[in-house]
Chains A and B, each alone.
Chain A
Amino acid sequence: MDNAVWLAMAICAVGTFLLRVLPMLWMKRHLIRQQAAATDAPMPVWLTVLAPTMIAAMFGVSLVPANQSFSAWLATALGILTTLLVWRRTRSLGWPVCAGVLMFGVVEVVALVAGG
């Protein structure tokens, strides 16, 4: 990489870091001020709604398979169903993910073998 590309990379790195850290510091300061003033309106409602919807959006985007074949969609559907069933039973984090990936993999392998 020449010097100009290094500089661009450094600006991207610092910029991304600031995008992550400055809003957190701003909110921390806001919360401390609210606490000092003994008022009870710490977080704007839209911000608290945005957090779960961001996670839901990440889920939606990650659901679309890279290779959009019937078998990939079937593997996705069965993988999600398995994850949900294991989560309902265990209420844990690791096991449902393992089971979902396993089911997804099994369907992918079966589809590959069946497809020749």
Chain B
Amino acid sequence: MDTAGNTSPTTSPWRLGAKDALPLLGGYIPVAISFGLISVQAGFSALESTLISALIYAGASQFLFIAMVASGAPLWLVVLMTLLINARHVVYGPNLAPYLPPSRYWPWLMHGLTDQIFALAHSRLPLLAEKDRLGWYTAAALVAWFSWIAGTALGAVAGAQITQRWPLLGDVMPFALPALFLVLLAPRFTSTVWSLTLVCTISVAMLLKLLGISNGAIPLAALAGVAMFYLLQARVNARIKNGVKAHG
């Protein structure tokens, strides 16, 4: 599948969207199996665990939700913390908005706007013809959503047996996520300013994760990246201004 060029795919946009979302399954299914297993161990039924995955549909916050409920934390605090972790999603919709052609389905489809679907859609939608975007997004989001739901159900019903039988599978398959993010990021190293911005963001994110700040790492590192971009851009602008003065 070509990721360059502003062309309409010859295959159906639905099929292309489903195909593009396939690498996500390597990351989604093992994590969803873990969620189903931990949720059942925390006292939730298989049906409740699956419903949490279908309705909240936000990985890290779901783990926090079941852990806090199981530990007897006040429910207002559970809701607050869950929504706080998911607050990073507010920047995804506005960034996709310019690429969404008019349709009454878009608001409902935003339920599927996870971190990974955003990363995929932000890279892919601008390359597709307007008429293909709704089909592409719907297929990609549905593949990811159903894999998350199915993985949770599987983990809740047979998670213990699966992790005992194939212990390495859960370690290896999630590597699909960093590999996918890299493929989506690689074409963005287009200038010194962007390269330094992205390297800075990646380094800060890794450092925060290593320091144990898992939930805040993504928004904090992204903000550090934006600050770096503005700093570098200001230096470039100052250099251009000085150059113009020297030549003038």
Contact = CB atoms under 8 A, between A and B. Distances in A.
Contact of A93 (B20, B92, B107, B110): B20
Interface string B120-136: 00100000000000000
B128 to A, nearest CB: 13
A52 interface: yes
A63 interface: yes
A15 B83 contact: yes
A12 B92 contact: no
B239 interface: no
Contacts of B171: 66-67, 108
Most buried by A among B82, B205, B220, B230: B205
Interface string A57-70: 11111111011000
A8 B176 CA distance: 33
Contacts, number: 274
Interface residues of B, number: 93
Contact of B221 (A9, A46, A60): A60
Nearest to B93: A24
A51 B1 contact: no
A63 B35 CA distance: 20
Interface in A26-52: 26-28, 31, 42-43, 46-52
B8 interface: no
A29 B217 CA distance: 31
Contact of A49 (B107, B116, B218, B229): B229
Interface in B184-236: 184-186, 188, 194, 197-198, 201-206, 208-210, 214, 217-223, 225-226, 229-230
Given A76-B175, A105-B172, A47 B202 contact: no
11 contacts: A8-B69, A16-B57, A23-B91, A47-B94, A49-B226, A54-B219, A55-B122, A62-B177, A63-B202, A101-B175, A101-B176
Given A24-B94, A28-B106, 7 more contacts: A21-B107, A46-B230, A55-B118, A56-B185, A61-B221, A93-B3, A94-B22
